[in-house]
Amino acid sequence: MQMKKILVTGAAGFIGSALVVRLLKNGENVIGLDDLNSYYDPSLKESRLKEIQLFSDASECQWEFYKSSLENKLSLKDIFSKHSPDVVINLAAQAGVRYSIENPYSYVQSNLVGFSNLLEQCRNYSVKNLIFASSSSVYGGNKKLPFSEVDSVDHPVSLYASTKKANELMAHSYSHLYGIPCTGLRFFTVYGPWGRPDMAPMIFAKSILNKEPIKVFNYGKMKRDFTYIDDVVEGIYRCCQKPAFTNDEFDVQNPDQSTSFAPYRIFNIGNSQPIELLRFIEILEEAFGLKAIKEFLPMQPGDVEATFAKTDLLENWIKFKPSTSLEIGIDKFAKWYLNYYKN
């Protein structure tokens, strides 16, 4: 059986690198793209790429990496011209809610200009399945929990969230105009080994081990739907096997926000078990065998009190539901962290 050619953008990122390994394990032909920018320490991204290369060399899998960005139209066109991928998984983006307040233009360039460049290449090369990263942040000011894909997401509270909502709309227009099957995945607080240094697990772990105060925003009255990396990767992988198709029962008078008359779908991918931030810190303390020093602070601009994913649509679509408990996931994360940063 001929393997699909799969392009993964953001291949040196947290989710991207884990996904690449999963695809290679299945014998897929994988092309990776990442600009290795300095939003956080590029050495971590380079270490992820080394892990991928070690696996690729040992298994003789087909893996090719390009250091470039979605904003580089000529480079992107060359990659598509050379490989003509069957499946494109877009995980390249400028991430981070708080950073978007200080550096708005980087989000416009990466998340809007870059994504439009990618959509154009998907159109030009008749990509059979486009999967793209959205975010739970699109739910913005919504108070109704759990967050459902059929809810309105028209009131974002950060520029980052706005760009992710825009990605969903842009993908829908290309799906409608050019018949590109598009699946958007709204990730809910992904954590685990090889995670991002700007996210709570890594920040808290570093502070706990260095005996430095942890900044606990909203005085600890926060809940997050922490989702383990392996569960997220499995969800993406299964979506690779099932391109979006039209909803023949779509009602234009009463539209379902998660489907369309075009081959387009939107899914939440979360653990559906929101955990209070203070409980999350307790589990980290148990994993590292140390007590955290907590500094309680008010809510930050652009943040939300709680996230909670309703995931029945994804479960019905791919017959999979994230289920890794926080205790198991944090234990794996802590072991990786201690090993990676032991020097």
Asked if 223 and 274 touch (Cβ cutoff 8 Å), the reply is yes
| HSE (side-chain half, CA atoms, 13 Å) at 326 | 22
φ, ψ for residue 7, nearest 5 deg:
-95, 125
Preceding omega of 301 cis (within 30 degrees of 0): no
H/E stretch holding 30: strand 29-34
CA-to-CA dists, residue 59 to 1, 9, 10, 33, 38, angstroms: 18, 22, 22, 21, 31
Spatial contact of 224 and 204, defined as CB atoms under 8 Å apart: no
Structure-token pair, residue 289: 């065998």
CB 219 within 8 A of CB 297: yes
Answer for the pair 288, 205: CB distance below 8 angstroms, yes or no.
Answer: yes
Catalytic residue among 107, 125, 160, 237: 160
Give yes or no: 160 in active site: yes
Q: The tokens of 49 are what?
A: 């790429």
The catalytic residue positions are: 160
